[in-house]
Copies of this chain bind each other. A is one copy, B any other.
Amino acid sequence: MTYRNFKEKVFEIIQPSAEGKLASRLFDLFIMFLILVSVVSVFIMTFDEIPRTILRCLREAECATILVFTVEYVLRIWTADLLYPELSPWRARLKFVCSPMAVIDLVAILPFYLPMLVSINLVGIRALRLVRLLRIFKLNRYSDAFLSIMEVFRGKIREIMVSLFIVFLLLIVASLFIFYAEHDAQPQQFSNAFSGLWWAVATLTTVGYGDIYPVTPIGRILGAIIALLGIGMAAVPTGILSAGFVELLEKRKKKEEEDSAGQDKPEEKGFFDGF
């Protein structure tokens, strides 16, 4: 096996798998497993008292994970010239290092090698590692579905912003009204308008924890109105998105009819470059 062949093989494996390539898919699963382990270990680390043996286990898993991620990162840099064959090797590597996904990869492993920083913001960095989960979308089967959801959101962003704005207006008005209605009856619960805001959010989203609720007749009438408006508040964005998805389907059908010749969609491919 020549050096070139070996490099191409490595590149093929660490690239998010096209369907059917077993080695590449196994590598993806292995990385996803490591991400999962590292998420679970972040969760376990939040316990107040962790037995020593488990702590040692977690630390060793951490070291192993970081090692694999480091090797993966280095291999990705090494094979970057195969990702952007039109660029010179060093420019390809620079382009890869600056891509958002590579920056996240680096940020996820860097703190381990900077002991002074570790104790300070390890957790924040670990949370960033979650972004690596996005890698799943590279699997060809799902990236399409993800892109269509994104497309609908992008197409309807103004309608969504407007309905969000109406929600905020409603929240502000409701929280002031409920405060003046309930403050005298429950000075402890509705101590200020921010408590009213917390109640208004819990009611309009129909979460309703029950830690704070109106008891006076006028407060309950207000509460009933806000709760009923909550149904409407959910209905508006749902209606907008439904129409958006219907629109998308029709647009695609039309496109298919117009030109059955496959389009390459070069921009969308670019979106995932160096991922």
Contact = CB atoms under 8 A, between A and B. Distances in A.
Q: How many copies does the complex hold?
A: 4
A142 B162 contact: yes
B173 A202 contact: no
A246 B238 CA distance: 12
Contacts of A196: 46
Contacts of A246: 242-243, 246-247, 249
A167 B228 contact: yes
A201 B173 contact: no
A200 B249 CA distance: 33
Given A48-B191, A192-B46, A241-B239, A141 B165 contact: no
Nearest to A200: B224
A154 to B, nearest CB: 13
Contact of A249 (B179, B201, B224, B247): B247
A149 B240 CA distance: 9
B136 A165 contact: yes
Central interface residue in A130, A169, A208, by most chain B CB within 10 Å: A208
Given A46-B183, A207-B230, 14 more contacts: A43-B176, A47-B192, A127-B173, A130-B169, A136-B165, A152-B239, A197-B224, A206-B206, A206-B208, A208-B209, A209-B213, A231-B234, A235-B238, A242-B243
A43 B197 contact: yes
Interface string A167-192: 10100110111011001000100011
Contacts of A15: none
Contacts of A193: 42-43, 46
A32 to B, nearest CB: 11
Contacts of A207: 202-203, 206-208, 227, 230
B248 A192 contact: no
A149 B142 contact: no
B235 A43 contact: no
A95 to B, nearest CB: 27
A194 interface: yes
Nearest to A133: B169
A238 to B, nearest CB: 4
Interface string A19-47: 00000000000000000000100111011
